[in-house]
A and B are shown apart, each in its own frame.
Chain A
Amino acid sequence: MKPFAFCTGMYASGDWESAPQVPANIIDSLARYTTLPLAPAGVNVPLDSDALFEHPFVFLTGHLPVFFTANERRNLARFVERGGFLFVDDHNHDIDGVFHRTMTDELARLFGPLRLVPNDHALYRAFFQFRDGPPATSHEMNGWGDNLVHQHLTAVMRDGRIDVLYSNKDYSSEWSMHPDTKRMMQVDPTRFGVNVVVYALTR
């Protein structure tokens, strides 16, 4: 079996590279808590390249407006149609921010409207237990961005199974730290990242 590689999607508009520490941090957590065969470094793959189809999981983030090109749209649609899992996080943590508005427009255009993920969804029990749904981030608690603690994630689902997961919670900032920093924290904030990856690979 080939090891799992954390894949960050590169898109032409915006700043896909805004959270460069997230991949290493999630890989480190996957290693700490699971026996998944892992690639030691994340990979960055252009959304309009066929290399996208080598990965079952793709992470997208950014602050700036997102407008996919025709090739990026076509590839993303095929990626999800073939069973790929897309995890999108708004690095702005702002429901009126341009990333949120433009990215949700693009996702709705490709896959239909995003719907609330119930907080008892299997996603929250895929590895760790999150009884109250998605864990809050320190940026939410500090009132950054839209000054809201988002109670739900949204998603494009087929028969209850998530194909595209969208987060307003700014996990990109929450998980932007050196992996060793986690040793000084009472609760590891990347545990939910483990859930997302395990859910994506086992749904």
Chain B
Amino acid sequence: MNARMAAASIRARLIMTVLARALAWGAAALLGLVLLAAALDALRPLPEPSRAAALWVAVLAAIGVAAAVLWRGRHSLDLLRVALFVEECSPADFVFVTAVSTGGDYGGDVRRGVRPALLRALVVPVAVALVLGGIAVMLPDGVLARVLSPSALDVLRGPAAMDPAASRLAPIVVRVIGPAYAGGSVREEANPSSVRALAGSRIEIIGGGAAHGAVDSIHATVHDRVTVAEADGERWTIRLPLPAAAAAVRLTDRRHERLLALEPVPDLAPVVTLQSPARDTTYATPRGSLTLAASAEDDIGLASLAFEILHTSGFGERFETGRRELGLVQGRGRAAQIRGSIQLDTMRLGPGDVLHIRAIAADRNALTGPGRAASDTRTIRIHDPRQRDTVSLQLGIEIPIDTSVLSQRELIIRAETLLARQRRLRPDTFRARAIELGVRQRQLREHVEEVIEEIETESEDVRIGSTVVSRFLAQAVSAMIDAENELGVASVAGARPHMYRALRLLQQARDATARYYLRGTLPKVVVDLDRARLRGRDSARAEARQPRDAAADHRRALLARLDRAAAIAGVNRAAAADSLTVIRIEALAQVPDAADALARAIAALRVGDPALEPLRAARRRLERRSESSAGILPWLAAP
């Protein structure tokens, strides 16, 4: 028999053994850690996140152990190492190793010596895994399930309370079912004292011990509205909608009571930002295009985003306003962007017309909404020469551009006149006049180049670079050079399109320059007070004024109640926690800055931790008086 074939056969068995060993050790590690977590949980119940974490740790440890065993057995892939293993199991003066390395024949039975070694390698891990598995099987119902499928409902598992008179309000699980438009997510909390949830959610309060007496003695009261529990096997369930404002749920089971605070979290309206146009503007004339850009974000999801444009025209007492929406985007994401543009030339805008541009968005809230929001509004005005209060300031750079526009237009008129008279002129006269026009075009081009230099240079050392205006002018220069070349060879007809292109570009450069309008100067009318004082003909008959009632001081009222609740904390922590829960619900609406400190105090009282410090913090919050800052100006009332 060929030695290599024999070694390959052994190698296959060896690989199988390594895989089985890795599997067995991995399973043993998994079972060991799960059983350890279950034992710790049995001694002192672990919270749900800890149990979920323990399961993940066990799985990762099992994978790690299996990987380590595989790594250690990686040499089983090497034929020579396999031959050495055979030599170790049944020593034969390395005859088999030599035969494998040289590819020769080997007459001995190598399998017989290897089999016991392979079995020995499997015995320990398989035995350990089986023992741990056996322990797992023998555990009482639900012990392993608390680790393998951790859930808030686990607090309700286990043996039912033996005393029928005991409260069935502890433990409880609160299941929060989010509104459908928000995805309908479900979450469970075990024994909460307060539940925060999106407005519109539904609440299910689940408890155990339904078999110990009728469940109709278990009910929940919110604002005098009573909801009776429904039995579901060993459990009872109370279903109620989340109230619109923070409220206390009073759970009652015969003589037992328990308080639960419900805090609705409102679905916020979208946040809409208009990026372009970036500021209010007054246009000299309604020409050109206006780029629009906006974005919106929502905490749950956006339903739509669009630009809203109001166009108001009129004067004096007569105004008309038209509204339209642009660029509507509908979607289901939490963020959206839109872009667009409007052509001012085509909107039939006249002097004095006003455009109000903003972005508007709506969210997907189908229960209490939809929540609508709008961005800041940009006001685009068209200059009205009738308005005396408007001052128009134009940049000085416009003057050379304006003169260039006029010069280019004049050159075009001359060129077209020359073309019209071409037949009546002698060829050399026509050529001389065309060349003369070319010289004028060059002079104008040099003038425009000077303007470009002026725009792009701030001082001798500082160069700004190209601007929107200078880019238009540079293109105009290019068109002028083409026109010059055509005029230089007396091709007036060929020069005409280039001259028109230069004119159009100069016009665009002129339109791109900024113009500033300042509003808000009104004639100041001064009244002659001495002449008018007490000269009125009508007689007044003012009634006596009622004194103002003192404003309600919510902080002071809650502070007094907090002191009373704190006083009983040393005697009855549960009663103190319940009192603080009610105080906190009112604080959420009236003094929200004290609510967090109260929540810490309640949590400390519920779990038996020291509550003095959070109670002090809550008191400090409620004691806070109105603040004044030096930045606020007093009433002066003088112009």
Instruction: Find B525's partner among A10, A34, A41, A98 (CB 8 Å cutoff).
Output: A41
User: Which of A21-29, A110-118, A146-154 touches B?
Assistant: A21-29
| CB within 8 Å of A: which B136-174 residues | none
Q: Which residues of B from 356 to 396 have beta carbons under 8 Å from A?
A: 356, 358, 374, 376-377, 379, 389
Judged by a CB distance under 8 angstroms, whether B312 is at the interface is yes
User: Is B520 a contact of A17 with CB atoms below 8 Å?
Assistant: yes
Q: Complex formed: what's the CA distance from A29 to B529 in Å?
A: 10
- Within 8 Å of chain B (Cβ to Cβ): is A169? no
A65 & B525 in contact (Cβ 8 Å cutoff): no
Q: A5-B639, A33-B534, A125-B542 are in contact. Are A28 and B527 (CB under 8 A)?
A: yes
Asked if A141 is an interface residue, CB under 8 A from chain B, the answer is: no
Contacting pair B529 A67 (CB below 8 A): no
Q: Chain A contact residues: over half helix, strand or loop, or mixed?
A: loop
CA distance A59 to B213 in the complex (A): 69
B540 closest partner in A (C-beta): A127
Residues of A within 8 A of B538 (CB): 33, 128, 187-188, 191
Partner of B528, one of A40, A188, A191: A40
Residue in A39, A64, A144 whose CB lies within 8 Å of B638: A39
Asked if A41 contacts B635 (CB within 8 A), the reply is no
Flag A46-69 by CB within 8 Å of B: 1 or 0 each. Answer: 000010011110000001110101
**Interface residues of B, CB < 8 Å — how many?**
47
Query: Contacts A40-B526, A70-B376 hold; do A64 and B354 have CB atoms under 8 A apart?
Result: yes
Q: Is B424 an interface residue (CB 8 A)?
A: no
B524 interface residue per 8 A CB criterion? yes
Question: Which residues of chain A come closer than 8 Å to B317, judged between CB atoms?
Answer: 63, 91, 144, 173
CB distance from A60 to the nearest CB of B (A): 15
A32 touches B532 (CB 8 A): yes
A194 to B107, CA, bound (A): 126
Contact in complex: B636, A63 (CB < 8 Å): no
**Chain B residues whose C-beta falls within 8 Å of the C-beta of A29 in the assembled complex:** 536
Separation of A202 and B317 alpha carbons in the complex (Å):
34
What 1/0 flags go to B541-572 for Cβ under 8 Å of A?
A: 11101101100000000000000000000000
Interface size class of A (residues with CB under 8 A): 35 or more
B638–A159 touching, CB < 8 Å: no
* Of A55, A194, A203, the contact of B637 (CB 8 Å cutoff): A55
Question: Do residues B545 and A122 form an inter-chain contact, with CB atoms below 8 A?
Answer: yes
| Interface majority SS (helix, strand, loop, mixed), chain B | loop
CB-based nearest A residue for B544: A125
- Does chain A have a CB within 8 A of B310? yes
Question: Complex: how many Å from CA A55 to CA B638?
Answer: 8
Q: Mark B505-520, 1 if CB is under 8 A from A, else 0.
A: 0000000000000011
Closest-CB distance, B596 to chain A (whole angstroms): 24
A56, B638: Cα distance in complex, Å: 11
* B535 touches A (CB below 8 Å): yes
Tell whether A20 pairs with B526 under 8 Å between CB atoms, given A179-B532, A202-B545: no
Scan residues 381-423 of chain B and give those whose CB is less than 8 A from a CB of chain A.
389
Please tell me if the beta carbons of A39 and B639 are within 8 angstroms of each other in the complex: yes
Give the residues in chain A near B541, CB-CB below 8 Å.
Answer: 125, 128-129
Chain B residue nearest to A161 (CB atoms) is B548
Which residues from A are CB-within-8-Å of B543?
A: 122, 125-126
Q: A203: shortest Cβ distance to chain B, in Å?
A: 8
Q: Verify if B223 is at the interface (C-beta below 8 Å from A).
A: no
Whether A40 contacts B637 in the complex (CB less than 8 A), given A13-B379, A198-B542, comes out as no
A129 nearest CB across to chain B (Å): 5
Most chain-A CB neighbours within 10 Å: which of B528, B529, B534, B545?
Answer: B529
CB pair A126–B310 under 8 Å, yes or no, is no
A151 to chain B, nearest CB (A): 21
How long is the Cα–Cα vector from A117 to B635 in the complex, in angstroms? 27
Q: Which residues on the A side are within 8 Å of B358 (C-beta)? A: 67
Q: Mark A118-159, 1 if CB is under 8 A from B, else 0.
A: 000010011111000000000000001000000000000001
Query: A92–B321 Cα gap in the complex (Å)?
Result: 12
Contacts A17-B389, A40-B529, A54-B636; A98 near B310 (Cβ below 8 A)? yes
Q: How far is the CA of A191 from the CA of B537 in the complex (A)?
A: 11
Name which residue of chain A comes closest to B311, CB basis.
A65
A35, B379: Cβ atoms closer than 8 Å? no
Q: How far is the CB of A90 from chain B (nearest CB, A)?
A: 12
Closest to B532 in A: A31
Q: Cβ of A50 and Cβ of B633 under 8 Å apart? A: yes
A12 at the interface (CB under 8 A from B): yes
Residues of A within 8 A of B389 (CB): 17
Q: Are B529 and A31 in contact (CB under 8 A)?
A: yes
Any A CB within 8 A of the CB of B280: yes
Closest to A56 in B: B635
Q: Are B536 and A188 in contact (CB under 8 A)?
A: yes
Residues of B within 8 A of A23 (CB): 525
* B residues near A38, Cβ cutoff 8 Å: 527, 529
Which residues on the B side are within 8 Å of A77 (C-beta)? none
Q: Does B610 contact A (CB under 8 A)?
A: no
Chain A residues with Cβ under 8 A from B633's Cβ? 50, 53-54
Pick from A17, A28, A82, A92: contact of B532, CB below 8 A.
Answer: A28
In the complex, B533 has a CB within 8 A of chain A: yes
Residues of B within 8 A of A31 (CB): 527, 529, 532-534
A4 contacts chain B at the CB level, 8 A cutoff: yes
Contact A21 B520 (CB under 8 A): no
Assess whether A108 is interfacial by the CB under 8 Å rule: no
B542 engages A126 (CB within 8 Å): yes
A sample of 10 inter-chain contacts (CB < 8 A) reads A24-B525, A31-B527, A41-B639, A44-B520, A54-B637, A65-B356, A82-B632, A128-B541, A129-B541, A161-B548
Binding site for B on A (CB under 8 A): 2-5, 10, 12-14, 17, 20-21, 23-24, 27-29, 31-35, 38-44, 50, 53-56, 63-65, 67, 69-70, 82, 91-92, 97-98, 122, 125-129, 144, 159, 161, 173, 179, 187-188, 191, 194, 198, 202-203
B interface list, Cβ under 8 A from A: 280, 310, 312, 314, 317, 319, 321, 354, 356, 358, 374, 376-377, 379, 389, 519-520, 522-529, 532-538, 540-543, 545-546, 548-549, 632-633, 635-639
- Sorted nearest first, the 7 A-B pairs with minimum C-beta distance are A32-B536, A67-B377, A24-B525, A31-B532, A33-B536, A98-B321, A54-B636
Additional A-B contacts beyond A12-B379, A41-B524, A125-B543 (13; CB < 8 A): A4-B637, A12-B280, A13-B356, A14-B354, A17-B520, A20-B523, A38-B529, A40-B526, A42-B525, A55-B637, A63-B314, A64-B321, A98-B312
